[in-house]
Structure 1
């Protein structure tokens, strides 16, 4: 998704020798549980952008770590991480075990390494040039390292904070790092043996001291020659050092690294086991469970004990017995990540939505968050799709959050905050134009921007914002209906058709207009719009936004000339060439990777597109395309994810699609049927009921649905209601190698 993150030049060949998937020791193929299928290295490198990190964490937990490298084919790791405070962020604190000359000490020591083994709950690595073995296990807010030194030289433990303070009190190292927006992360770290000496490392020199502060604040614990083993336990907090200590004592005191790993394994198997699969190849199982594991990376619960620190108002709050969650990029997670949680963990989804209500109340303006992070709402991307998660949850029976407050916050975020992308400013001239005319006006190439709310790099994205806001306003209309607010419902229902204002009847594309209502000409639907097509669209070009009317697909089909014309244009997207060399295409559109023609598997606005054939009476084409995309773009290897995955935003598409259905329109309690990959899928719905999907003879070859039944009754439509799933029961498919073009056309 977000191309402002650093692009990486990838040394692919090194990757397969340096970072391979090594299954956890001790479990035979017959004993494999769901977590044993997870490959955290899957997708660590990609065509252009970094899609995934090999993250060690418990489901939706505050403490996350991963080995930091220059890129994920790197031959060095940058110390040992203690906590990563945001998805794809860098470590707040780093620990470096070291033997050697004191003059070689640094706040962060780079290690060559070998024999790296990483699972969702454990880490093991041999620092071969130092001849140090490291093993790691973690809990939700605390963790432990075991460190073994092979040499007899003096040993050092180097702890650094990138920007903060560290101190030693005779028993423990504690301190903080400032991570932005007046937010601090605290650490309390206890070694199992007292050091001989404690020093401050500054400007490459050691100075005996028990305190260090500022940039690269660094304390060094010195141990005598002959030290062979050191254990380190630590707690992390966003509240204070005392809470970090309490987290440590609550979670890891008295537990060995091996015990923490075994507890973590049990937790992961319980969560991943909410979806059980049978059939498929080992690689297909690895892709499925790795994708499901990614769906538990975010958001994270930051309740500590019974309190949490909120960056949304800079205060510590009681959580009143209900966990508080943050770090969720709703711009894409609304599509499938939130809907997946509604299915398998509805109580957690209610807590997450309740957290969003609380954030809205805590912020300066009562506006629903768009990119809630540890450091507050960063207001990134375009539109305010969190409103879709509200109506989707409510329509699917989730009631344990305040719908009326959620509606008012969502309404404020869409009508009072500017619609300009990447901005948290109040509505202004651009927004008034949208209210008056029903679209965001575009500028001509070279025309100077005059609206202060518009981000200098992200631009207006007028087509993307108009289409996205049309959907958001449809969602508002649906919530207003639920609340009996008829006037609001009618107003937003009318506004939900604003996408029509940019539809070009001649070309059948959504085409930017100037403030006078004229289409911008000349125009190239592939390349107009500058970097990431942001002057008109957003990260993707017009070929992707052509289908961005999730809430009214029948009307989109009608605009495009009916079913046959719609299918022809869908096919045309998959056939259309890049129009330039790959080098030139991706230089302008680095997020638009994973291409099949002009379709991009690598960016979330594309995820619903393959399912659109269902709506035009040709579901067999959806079945064919879905299987092609899953097989080609999601694989059990380092390049097995095509683009920015975003901690569940894209992986949830894989989970749904492999099961055989997908939520095309969050807010409508139904799912569009694709092509089930496994012969049997069982979903624990979290309400005491189970929903089972049987796909007889499903295989790579047998990807086409021949017939289907739901609870013994014939199913001849390519969708299923949420109510039917929620009640439990059985969906049965007969699969075959050739398309039954008559199935699902009613």
Structure 2
């Protein structure tokens, strides 16, 4: 790998004098008109149990997630922090939120007054809010305060004791699978460090550059590579750590601004000067709070305080990612490792698509419509650089994690909802090309219409996910007038039928046209030749959101369908000796802790029993979400677990992620106002709503009686009002007639 430090120095020296003093900075105009919604956000929710959420300071969709990293490691430390811990090894600038694999943790900074490599803390000494993290390190008597802009982490350390103190920059440490490949640090002058960190892990080839500027002059500086001390101010090695020494007075503050970049040291510095060209910590903090209040304010709800806390914390979680992956000037490093300048869109990363295509991305189409074009353009750039749409993309790397082609649903949904700002011809090309590759079991789909269970691990889960993607390609082909493609992909969208065994009424592994994999146990979840992904046949039998009517027919009609669906929430059985910890939040065999189950409660509406959806949805909101640290029943999965709650609390959910319909359930809010572009608003008014009245009795859309058990996307984004009257018993008339039922494909 190249060593860019010396090349960067001249450019940086030119940039450095442009740093402005506090006196030169105009204060941003007051934004007191913004509602104070961050008061309802508790970032600790999801840091306990198996939530794996990020804790720290960031701004909506920012590249920087600046927060603590515990000394402990393991599955529950995938974000770097777990509520059960009481140790901190430093504060790193990148984190994942809610994933089941650990990575990142770049540029780890730790202030100490002695030689310890970690600090102890108590939760009583932590203060956390959107855009802010603070902790008091008692042994060292240091108050740590963190805030951030999009690409810059801002540290403020208050040293209670006078004397010699030090701040270490650790490029060796990473979270989870992450390990360094090559690192570099240079003391550029008495207030500036620069360097880079190349690492491998879940993201196989991650490259991050940084510039760190101190508010106080460094009095001493040392470097070490692993345990070997280096007598130098500049080094390249595999496991570098730098220590900057300071002489501080009692209660003196030392501040650091750390700019990060996927491109270069110069760009990291330029990000600082563009975003935080001053030393006013509170100004940056208030700007971060304003950004969060602005985004949270796109939905104003009236509800009990506990519901508000869960709702706004959930909404907060949905805006940690996808995260920015470019510099302030637009530069970014592509999947092909080339540098792209002025691409015309904000490049994004951290696409946990197997999870987020289900609800988190549909939520963006309502609450963040201006960002949809950036999401799609980022995916199309990835397609052009790697030859297919992303599967699970992280920091310019394709991880190929999880099964299916989930980006197809996100791109297809944007096209079918009429979004603009991207090349629809290229988008359709990307969808089609991705669907007809020969990789990851697709060659069997094209040859047989199913993936033989003895050819590919997780064949059933993979095949069912491909069917959803193929159906979506077919719908877009129809929308764009490609008749032949529509017929081909619509047929492939029905391939889910090839995994359904009518004798057992389960989806299961097929070895050939006339042979099922044996033995078969619908409770079995994990074994050496598993046919499912983090689940079993009980959960995956319902993974047909694109054609619920077809699944009802396969099961023999509404009655057997309802009977089987009821059983899902009631049946008890052993999951298997090696059951995945992702199979959590169980109600019978329904597993709310993992994404393949998320749409299932809303399937009752297709069989004219919407009141059963209400019962299940309300139970899940009340029992499987809370305002405690263990308030999530499974991994957050980069916003999906929380997006389910946001939608469900508002009263509707996108069961089919690409047909523009939202199934009505049982709203937890009393009122909600959704801000839309061009000054439009969509208002939701819920009457007689309480713990006992969770059944919809009557619905009025824009003042007119509305008997359908679903909403259309176009009805929401047009603005208007939705009035829902609730009651203690199921309605015998609402949402049960043939014309009231949701449907999978567009009716003309």
Per the TM superposition, whether the score is higher than 0.5 is yes
Q: Are 2:512 and 1:515 equivalent residues in the alignment?
A: yes
1:671 to 654, 662, 665: 662
Q: Which residue of 2 aligns with 1:112?
A: 121
Residue by residue over 1:9-37, the C-alpha shift from the partner in whole angstroms, topping out at 9 and shown as x without a partner, is: xxxxxxxxxxxxxxxxxxxxx99722111
Shift of 1:392: 1.3
Moved more, 559-568 or 521-530: 521-530
Q: Secondary structure at the match of 1:91?
A: coil
Residue by residue over 1:406-429, the C-alpha shift from the partner in whole angstroms, topping out at 9 and shown as x without a partner, is: 222222222114134xxxxxxxxx
Shift of 1:436: 2.6
Residue by residue over 1:340-375, the C-alpha shift from the partner in whole angstroms, topping out at 9 and shown as x without a partner, is: 110112120122101111111122x2x111112113
Shift of 1:50: 4.4
Q: Which residue of 2 aligns with 1:440?
A: 451
Separation of aligned partners in 2, 1:529 and 1:83? 32
Q: Are 2:74 and 1:77 equivalent residues in the alignment?
A: no
Residue by residue over 1:250-269, the C-alpha shift from the partner in whole angstroms, topping out at 9 and shown as x without a partner, is: 11122411111111111100
Cα separation, partners in 2 of 1:485 and 1:698, compared to 1, 3 Å: same
Q: Which residue of 2 aligns with 1:187?
A: 210
Separation of aligned partners in 2, 1:528 and 1:654? 26
1:175 to 195, 204, 209: 195
2:36 to 33, 36, 41: 33
Asked if structure 2 preserves the Cα contact closer than 8 Å seen for 1:551 and 1:665, the reply is: yes
Stretches of structure 1 lacking an aligned partner (at least 5 in a row): 1-29, 421-430, 444-450, 452-458
Residue by residue over 1:211-256, the C-alpha shift from the partner in whole angstroms, topping out at 9 and shown as x without a partner, is: 2332331121222364632121221111111111111111112241
Q: Are 2:264 and 1:245 equivalent residues in the alignment?
A: no
Cα separation, partners in 2 of 1:516 and 1:81, compared to 1, 3 Å: same
Q: Are 2:273 and 1:268 equivalent residues in the alignment?
A: no
Residue by residue over 1:516-562, the C-alpha shift from the partner in whole angstroms, topping out at 9 and shown as x without a partner, is: 5312233111116516xx62111110011111111111111111121
Q: Which residue of 1 aligns with 2:730?
A: 739
Shift of 1:593: 0.7
Q: Which residue of 1 aligns with 2:106?
A: 92
Q: Which residue of 2 aligns with 1:231?
A: 255
Q: Are 2:534 and 1:539 equivalent residues in the alignment?
A: yes
Separation of aligned partners in 1, 2:376 and 2:116? 46
Q: Are 2:294 and 1:292 equivalent residues in the alignment?
A: no
1:166 to 152, 166, 185: 185
Cα separation, partners in 2 of 1:320 and 1:432, compared to 1, 3 Å: closer
Separation of aligned partners in 1, 2:384 and 2:646? 34
Q: Are 2:566 and 1:566 equivalent residues in the alignment?
A: no
Shift of 1:182: 4.1
Q: Which residue of 2 aligns with 1:8?
A: none
Q: Which residue of 2 aligns with 1:60?
A: 61
Q: Which residue of 2 aligns with 1:356?
A: 379
Asked if structure 2 preserves the Cα contact closer than 8 Å seen for 1:179 and 1:375, the reply is: no
Q: Are 2:722 and 1:727 equivalent residues in the alignment?
A: no
Residue by residue over 1:594-636, the C-alpha shift from the partner in whole angstroms, topping out at 9 and shown as x without a partner, is: 0000000001111100001111011011011100001111110
Residues matched between the structures, number: 677
Cα separation, partners in 2 of 1:651 and 1:417, compared to 1, 3 Å: farther
Cα separation, partners in 2 of 1:417 and 1:62, compared to 1, 3 Å: farther
Q: Which residue of 1 aligns with 2:26?
A: none
Q: Which residue of 2 aligns with 1:375?
A: 396
Separation of aligned partners in 1, 2:451 and 2:217? 64
Stretches of structure 2 lacking an aligned partner (at least 5 in a row): 1-32, 173-179, 738-748
1:324 to 338, 347, 358: 347
Pairwise mapping of residues 203-222 of structure 1 onto structure 2 (< 5 A)? Answer: 208-222=231-245
Shift of 1:511: 2.1
Shift of 1:202: 4.8
Q: Secondary structure at the match of 1:250?
A: helix
Q: Secondary structure at the match of 2:408?
A: helix
Separation of aligned partners in 2, 1:264 and 1:115? 22
Q: Are 2:466 and 1:469 equivalent residues in the alignment?
A: yes
TM-score scaled by length of structure 1: 0.87
Residue by residue over 1:443-500, the C-alpha shift from the partner in whole angstroms, topping out at 9 and shown as x without a partner, is: 2xxxxxxx6xxxxxxx521111221111111111111112211111111111211111
Separation of aligned partners in 2, 1:287 and 1:167? 45
Q: Secondary structure at the match of 1:57?
A: coil
Q: Which residue of 2 aligns with 1:499?
A: 496
Q: Are 2:144 and 1:153 equivalent residues in the alignment?
A: no
Shift of 1:167: 0.8
Residue by residue over 1:95-145, the C-alpha shift from the partner in whole angstroms, topping out at 9 and shown as x without a partner, is: 121212xxx354xx3443551111120111100011111111211111221
Separation of aligned partners in 1, 2:292 and 2:450? 46
Moved more, 333-342 or 177-186: 177-186
Residue by residue over 1:18-72, the C-alpha shift from the partner in whole angstroms, topping out at 9 and shown as x without a partner, is: xxxxxxxxxxxx99722111111111122xx443222421111111122112251
Asked if structure 2 preserves the Cα contact closer than 8 Å seen for 1:42 and 1:290, the reply is: yes
Separation of aligned partners in 2, 1:740 and 1:561? 26
Cα separation, partners in 2 of 1:251 and 1:31, compared to 1, 3 Å: closer
Q: Which residue of 2 aligns with 1:692?
A: 683
Q: Secondary structure at the match of 2:106?
A: strand
Asked if structure 1 preserves the Cα contact closer than 8 Å seen for 2:625 and 2:631, the reply is: yes
Asked if structure 1 preserves the Cα contact closer than 8 Å seen for 2:66 and 2:95, the reply is: yes
Separation of aligned partners in 2, 1:203 and 1:553? 57
Pairwise mapping of residues 409-448 of structure 1 onto structure 2 (< 5 A)? Answer: 409-420=430-441, 431-443=442-454
1:126 to 136, 140, 155: 136
Asked if structure 2 preserves the Cα contact closer than 8 Å seen for 1:212 and 1:218, the reply is: no
Separation of aligned partners in 2, 1:677 and 1:410? 37
Q: Secondary structure at the match of 2:107?
A: strand
Asked if structure 1 preserves the Cα contact closer than 8 Å seen for 2:263 and 2:333, the reply is: no
Q: Secondary structure at the match of 1:51?
A: coil
Asked if structure 1 preserves the Cα contact closer than 8 Å seen for 2:211 and 2:268, the reply is: yes
Asked if structure 2 preserves the Cα contact closer than 8 Å seen for 1:195 and 1:222, the reply is: yes
